[in-house]
Amino acid sequence: MAARAAPQTFFRVRPHMKVLALFAALMLAGAAAYLLMKHGLAPTTLLSGALSVLAALGFAQTLLAYIHLQDDALVISSGLTKRRYDRASLESVTWEAGSGVSIKKVDGSWIKLPEMGYNSQSLSNSIRAWLRRTA
């Protein structure tokens, strides 16, 4: 019988965070449209338009962000940036309430993981199990 490959784990942004980001983008776009009809190109209209663009970019980031635990590496994508860390360069994982999950590298530096809407302890435990499994 052939050996089964270890599962590759993806952590994507939770659906409720995607919905909240979409809601914020739509509300700000609606506010910009309303202010444009009522007041024209007033400073508040321009500000709400700029905020709606930022909210739309934030929503796009929630669609593109993920953490991928591969067999030999950790890949972190947060929108436009993608970082890859070899398994051999990672030492341990920790979390603290209010500050999220961080991974300690062998050289002593730290990697702060993006917020994905998961419980920090459960995400930390999953990564810790991956570190043990791939050691």
List pLDDT tens digits, range 97-133. 777 888 999 998 998 888 888 788 888 888 898 888 8
Would you call 69 exposed, middle or buried from its count of C-beta atoms within 10 A (0-12, 13-18, 19+)? Answer: buried
Residue 134 clears pLDDT 80, i.e. is over it? no
pLDDT at 122: 85
pLDDT at 62: 92
Residue 133 vs residue 51, higher pLDDT: 51
In the 8-state DSSP scheme, what is residue 84?
E
- 8 is written with which tokens? 């590759």
Q: Is the pLDDT of residue 3 over 60?
A: no
The pTM score is: 0.78
Beginning with the edge strand found earlier in the chain, give each strand of the sheet holding 81-86 in spatial order. Answer: 9-12, 66-69, 73-78, 81-86
**CB contact at 8 A, 4 and 56:** no
Is residue 29 within 8 A of residue 56, CB to CB? The reply is yes
CB neighbours of residue 68 within 10 Å:
16
* pLDDT confidence of residue 121: 84
Higher pLDDT, 86 or 96: 86
d(CA 35, CA 13): 32
Q: So what's the pLDDT on residue 6?
A: 54
CB 92, CB 104: distance < 8 Å: yes
**Rounded Cα–Cα distance for residues 129 and 49 (Å):** 45
Q: For the chain, what percent of residues have pLDDT higher than 70?
A: 93
Per-residue confidence (pLDDT) for residue 1, from 0 to 100: 45
pLDDT of residue 7: 58
Does 4 score more than 80 pLDDT?
Answer: no
